[in-house]
Amino acid sequence: MPHAMFEKHQALLQRAVAAIESRGYWSPYAEGPRAYGESAIADGHKAFEAYRGAQFYLDQPGVIDRGGAEVSPYGLPLNISYPRCRADALIDAGKAAMPGWIKAGADTRAGVCLEILARLNAGSFEMAHAVMHTTGQALMMAFQAAGPHAQDRGLEAVAYAWREMNHVPALALWEKPQGKNPPLKMEKRFTIVPRGVALVIACSTFPTWNGYPGIFASLVTGNPVIVKAHPAVILPLALAVSVARVGLKEAGFDPNLVSLLIDDPEAPVAKEVAMRPEVRLIDYTGGPDFGNWLEQNCRHAIVYTEKAGVNCIVVDSIDDYKAMLKNLAFTLSLYSGQMCTTPQSIFVSREGVKTPEGVVSAEQFGRDLANAVSRLLEDPVRAVEVLGAIQSPATLARLDAAQELGEVLRASSAIAHPQWPEANIRSPLILKVAATEQDAYAKERFGPISLVVETATAAESLATAERVIREQGAITFALYSTNPLLVERAEEAALRVGVALSINLTGAVFVNQSAGFSDFHATGANPAANACLTDSAFVASRFFVVQSRRHV
């Protein structure tokens, strides 16, 4: 008999499967605040305030003590403590919870996961305030990215996994003709069996958007999930884990199928836990050093990583020069460049940028880009909503050091937030370097740092960008050109290095945005990531198929 939660969400699940197959626009989760009620923002803030200066409750096994030392990038004291649990206790409890979860079947697991997502959606503004004051995102960006857009990615993972699991029939009758003799007949049963304990190692900038795909892909395929929060950003994932545990318990399952693991920078535990033989799946978002270590050392597990790369733009020609500059200015400024999709190295040749009004020199393009960013941010009230706050002191240090890399076209400056005077807000730094200065532009510099790289020709710009992406990896790549031949060559280059390409974006779509159910986020085909969020490969290795057969 179907589980009540599957019956409740079955139509949504089938619509999600249709969406991933058609790749058009679709989202079941509203991205407008009014859809959540007139008091949603205030209610979310009230819920967030209740966590400050308090102990976050999670009824998990193996509690040693309490920890957590999050600091809001906006200067707001948080003082939230969380249960610090032994990893072995969480692993053992997760394994003990597996038999009933496996027996429930794919339909029931999908229904429970969708119920959890529905409850997360209802609390989107509670999550928004939590994300704002841990990651530094502005409130509306935190609402959309950590709320409906992250939920889209979670649902997308469930839909892919449910579809893949349902490609395997539960029962089959095998009948082989034997000529004049009676046919051979066998009944065969096929069971989806999870791989084992899953570990999700979350990042500090987009904990839910990057975390939900791995969490829900593993959970729906039958695996218990341990969510290892970044020590600077715990609250958003503590909220998600709490909602998941309540949803599982109310559905009749062991809540220890999902648990939260915390640590601190002085005593990290991710490496130790990742090496546990019981951990069979690892999802990681973060810097390349630890991502590479996981890939090279955790051979006992399937490892999915999204790391860092050098996202590139090639500027050759455009029909609407001002619209291009406006698009680029917002792209470089959004969340102060603290996105894995933000472009860093912008290649323009000494041949200039061809426009209907004439050719704009490379030197002038650099000045125009800097001025476009300054115009976008000239109103401080608007600027702080676009930029958000700098999440990590390491990013501030990197920004200060980057000024020595090249000619400064636009200096970074601090911007005062009208509501949060202690917020760490910096405007983008834009530098100009030559194509020979590879040490400057061919290395990821996370944060509000952009480099305009002057080449000899557009062909050199494209070739240099391709080489950088091949060697360093990239999540995004963009081209501005009205030359059909150059567009064709850029498309071929993008295929060779396995990177998503955007062409001539001048409107309200930006290269650093990725739409659930339509865009494949990362490809797994270059050093920036070894997996895609989300495709069939992201879910199919999370389970086995075990058969039994008998004569009939």
Q: What is the mean pLDDT of the chain?
A: 97
Instruction: Pick left, alpha or beta for residue 409 (phi over 0 → left; psi -120 to 50 → alpha; otherwise beta).
Output: alpha
Classify residue 529: in a domain, yes or no: no
413-431 residue pLDDT tens: 999 999 999 999 999 999 9
% of the chain beyond a pLDDT of 90: 99
**How far does CA 144 lie from the centroid of its chain?**
13
Classify residue 484: in a domain, yes or no: yes
Classify residue 541: in a domain, yes or no: no
**CATH classification at residue 257:** 3.40.605.10
Classify residue 344: in a domain, yes or no: yes
What does the pLDDT read at residue 2? 80
Whether residue 294 is found in the same domain as residue 360 = no
Quote the DSSP letter at residue 56. P
What does the pLDDT read at residue 101? 97
Whether residue 65 is found in the same domain as residue 179 = yes
460-506 residue pLDDT tens: 999 999 999 999 999 999 999 999 999 999 999 999 999 999 999 99
Whether residue 331 is found in the same domain as residue 217 = no
Q: Is the dihedral of CA 458, 459, 462, 464 positive or negative?
A: negative
What does the pLDDT read at residue 31? 94
**pTM surpassing 0.85?**
yes
Whether residue 299 is found in the same domain as residue 329 = no
**Between 308 and 82, where is the model more confident?**
82
Average pLDDT for 28-57: 96
239-264 residue pLDDT tens: 999 999 999 999 999 999 999 999 99
228: amino acid identity, one letter: K
Is a pLDDT exceeding 80 seen at residue 25? yes
Is a pLDDT exceeding 90 seen at residue 1? no
What does the pLDDT read at residue 308? 85
| Of 307, 328, 362, the domain-final residue | 307
| Of 307, 334, 368, the domain-final residue | 307
Q: What are phi and psi of 502, to 5 degrees?
A: -115, 135
Whether residue 396 is found in the same domain as residue 291 = no
Whether residue 287 is found in the same domain as residue 317 = no
Whether residue 324 is found in the same domain as residue 284 = no
Whether residue 243 is found in the same domain as residue 266 = yes
| Of 248, 272, 307, the domain-final residue | 307
- Judge whether 498 and 126 are in contact, CB under 8 Å: no
Classify residue 452: in a domain, yes or no: yes
Q: Which of 257, 301, 259 is nearest to 104 (CA)?
A: 257
Whether residue 268 is found in the same domain as residue 352 = no
- Judge whether 123 and 22 are in contact, CB under 8 Å: no
Whether residue 243 is found in the same domain as residue 370 = no
- Judge whether 396 and 449 are in contact, CB under 8 Å: no
The H helix count followed by the E strand count for the chain is: 18, 19
Domain total in the chain = 2
Average pLDDT for 83-92: 98
Is a pLDDT exceeding 90 seen at residue 144? yes
97-110 residue pLDDT tens: 999 999 999 999 99
Instruction: State the Cα–Cα distance between residues 323 and 504, nearest whole angstrom.
Output: 10
Is a pLDDT exceeding 90 seen at residue 166? yes
Average pLDDT for 405-412: 97
Whether residue 282 is found in the same domain as residue 408 = no
**CATH classification at residue 370:** 3.40.309.10
Average pLDDT for 80-97: 98
Structural domain boundaries enclosing 62:
4-307
Instruction: State the Cα–Cα distance between residues 527 and 327, nearest whole angstrom.
Output: 27
Classify residue 192: in a domain, yes or no: yes
Q: Which of 212, 213, 68, 45 is nearest to 123 (CA)?
A: 45
Whether residue 245 is found in the same domain as residue 316 = no
325-342 residue pLDDT tens: 999 999 999 999 999 999
